[in-house]
Amino acid sequence: MQCVLVLANGASWESAALGALQRSRDFVVLKRCVDIADLMASATTGQADHAVVALDTPGLDRIATEHVRRFRVRLVGVNAASAGREGDSIHEVAQWATRLGFASVVGVGEVDRLPTVLAADDTSAHLDAEPPAHIEHSVDPGTSAGAGRVIAVWGPAGAPGRTTVAIGLTAALARRRLRTVLLDADPWGGSVAQQLGVLDEVSGLLAAARLHGTGSLSERFGGVCRGLEEFAGVVTGLPRPDRWQEVRPGVIEEVLCLARGVGTVVVDTGFSLEQDGTVELSGRSGRNTMTIEAVANADVVVVVAHPDPVGLTRLANGLTELDEISPGSPRIVVLNRMRQTLGWSAGEVVAMTKGLIGPSVRAVLVLPEDRRAVDAAVAGGRFVADGPLVKALANVADALVPESAAGAGRTLRRRTAGRAHQR
Ligand SMILES: Nc1ncnc2c1ncn2[C@@H]1O[C@H](COP(=O)(O)OP(=O)(O)OP(=O)(O)O)[C@@H](O)[C@H]1O
Ligand SMILES: [Mg+2]
């Protein structure tokens, strides 16, 4: 007996499809999904063998289909007469579905044949998807099994390298074939898009904020999160710092929830955790609401600091502030831009830091100053490709997702400098 997920998007063919599957006795309908996010989350349980999906479902895109296929769920599309993007013929929609990884496509009048089609898919060799991402095996500071992990990258004032570390960590995880979503949630001016050469003018975060407002974010999350590399996607941040007010309370929380369904989530945040006392009364965002929501919803916080006297003092104060927002939540401290001219060794600075911090910090790791690699990456609009920083970032990835360490080493396709990245 094989299990089937059905996502009919409210179409009238659903009852005929359910009837045909029930009659066949070879298939059982595991769940009728309400939207793409529901389908993606249901696939991660590992119980489904097939998904029957309406091809006109909002948010149906490659990220969604790749996610589902990685959990070894075979996709069958149902092609309604008006399916797909406006103006497309049924034939074009079927071709589009094949490109997305659908094993078969049936017309709405053919859903009676679904058991035969599913059985044929089962024996065909179309399933070239990778085994499921190792999300469910990663360090477990307490989320429900199988869900994606949220890693918030935070650090106090002084530009200690939050964005550099968040991008570098995303690259390190994607290099390990872990599906990773990078979210730019810095309310003081996001720079992820610029650093990665994502040139489009649509901010993923502002789009998410608008969709959150209309209650349709879950349906259209695929359009908010754009593909970067084979295993990495990005939700770009604020195009201008003054637009932080458009991101209402609850937006970051919903984006994180949806991104968890895609894979591991890395969040770049702002420096300040100061709470605005009027937020709860007014229902409006405070300036730091984005950062606070990211940190409060994270499974682990990577705290980035400069390994110098000012940086370490700010680190100690920052950890106290973090305690107020997420008491006892797991943390990893990353001392970034370590260099000989500071006058102390990496071992000495780690020992000093350990004396400053409490038991919720699991590890203290050091990243070297690597001007050459960082400059080349920023100038080329791509991930840091090689050098000491990449090697040290791998240690941070090991600490966060130890089970992925064995799979490390696969190189990412280099991205073309300055290119706008479209899925
Ligand atoms: N390991 C490193 N080696 C060399 N340069 C680095 C390193 N990490 C960060 N930098 C540089 O330091 C500067 C600040 O880094 P980044 O933008 O990542 O910091 P931030 O904490 O996100 O700052 P902001 O407050 O502006 O968001 C950038 O010019 C970046 O290229
Ligand atoms: Mg930054």
For residue 163, the CA-to-ligand 1 centroid distance in Å is 6
pLDDT above 60 for 280: no
Q: What atom in ligand 1 is closest to the CA of residue 389? A: 1
| 59 part of a folded domain | yes
Q: Are residues 215 and 96 in the same domain?
A: no
pLDDT above 60 for 165: yes
Q: What is the reported pLDDT for 180?
A: 93
Sign of CA dihedral 34, 177, 391, 385: negative
| 414 part of a folded domain | no
Answer whether 271 contacts ligand 1 (Cβ < 6 A): yes
Q: Can you give the CATH number for the domain in which 324 is found?
A: 3.40.50.300
Q: Are residues 188 and 112 in the same domain?
A: no
Which of 123, 153, 187 is where one domain is finished?
123
| 197 part of a folded domain | yes
Answer whether 163 contacts ligand 1 (Cβ < 6 A): yes
Q: Are residues 113 and 259 in the same domain?
A: no
Q: Are residues 155 and 251 in the same domain?
A: yes
Q: What is the reported pLDDT for 20?
A: 93
| 394 part of a folded domain | yes
**Using one digit for the tens of pLDDT, what is the confidence trace for 352-401?**
999 888 777 889 999 999 999 999 999 989 999 889 999 999 999 999 98
Tell me the residue length of the chain.
423
Q: What is the reported pLDDT for 292?
A: 96
Q: Are residues 57 and 163 in the same domain?
A: no
Which among 164, 266, 342 is the best mutation to test ligand 1's pocket, defined by most ligand atoms within 8 Å of the CB? 164
β-sheet with 264-269: strand ranges across: 226-229, 232-235, 180-185, 264-269, 150-154, 300-305, 331-338, 361-368
Give 160's pLDDT tier (boundaries 50, 70, 90): very high
Q: What atom in ligand 1 is closest to the CA of residue 369? A: 3
| 89 part of a folded domain | yes
Number of other CB atoms surrounding residue 343 within 10 Å: 9
Q: Can you give the CATH number for the domain in which 73 is found?
A: 3.40.50.2300
Q: Are residues 111 and 150 in the same domain?
A: no
| 183 part of a folded domain | yes
| 423 part of a folded domain | no
Q: Are residues 95 and 184 in the same domain?
A: no
Which of 100, 123, 146 is where one domain is finished?
123
| 267 part of a folded domain | yes
Give 123's pLDDT tier (boundaries 50, 70, 90): low
pLDDT above 50 for 115: yes
Q: What is the reported pLDDT for 131?
A: 33
Q: Are residues 253 and 384 in the same domain?
A: yes
Q: Are residues 172 and 292 in the same domain?
A: yes
Answer whether 393 contacts ligand 1 (Cβ < 6 A): no
Which of 103, 123, 143 is where one domain is finished?
123
Which among 163, 183, 308, 334 is the best mutation to test ligand 1's pocket, defined by most ligand atoms within 8 Å of the CB? 163
- The residues, any chain, with a CB within 8 Å of residue 253's CB and separated by 6 or more, are 293, 297
Answer whether 336 contacts ligand 1 (Cβ < 6 A): yes
Q: What atom in ligand 1 is closest to the CA of residue 164? A: 18
Q: Are residues 59 and 157 in the same domain?
A: no
Q: From the CA of 370, which ligand is nearest?
A: 1
Tell me the pLDDT of the chain averaged across its residues. Answer: 84
Of 191, 218, 215, the C-alpha closest to 203 is 191
Answer whether 38 contacts ligand 1 (Cβ < 6 A): no
Answer whether 190 contacts ligand 1 (Cβ < 6 A): no
Range of the domain at 58: 2-123
- More confident position, 199 or 71: 71
Q: What is the reported pLDDT for 343?
A: 93
Q: Are residues 165 and 21 in the same domain?
A: no
Number of domains making up the chain: 2
Answer whether 159 contacts ligand 1 (Cβ < 6 A): yes
First-residue to last-residue Cα distance in the chain: 36
Q: Are residues 139 and 119 in the same domain?
A: no
Answer whether 186 contacts ligand 1 (Cβ < 6 A): yes
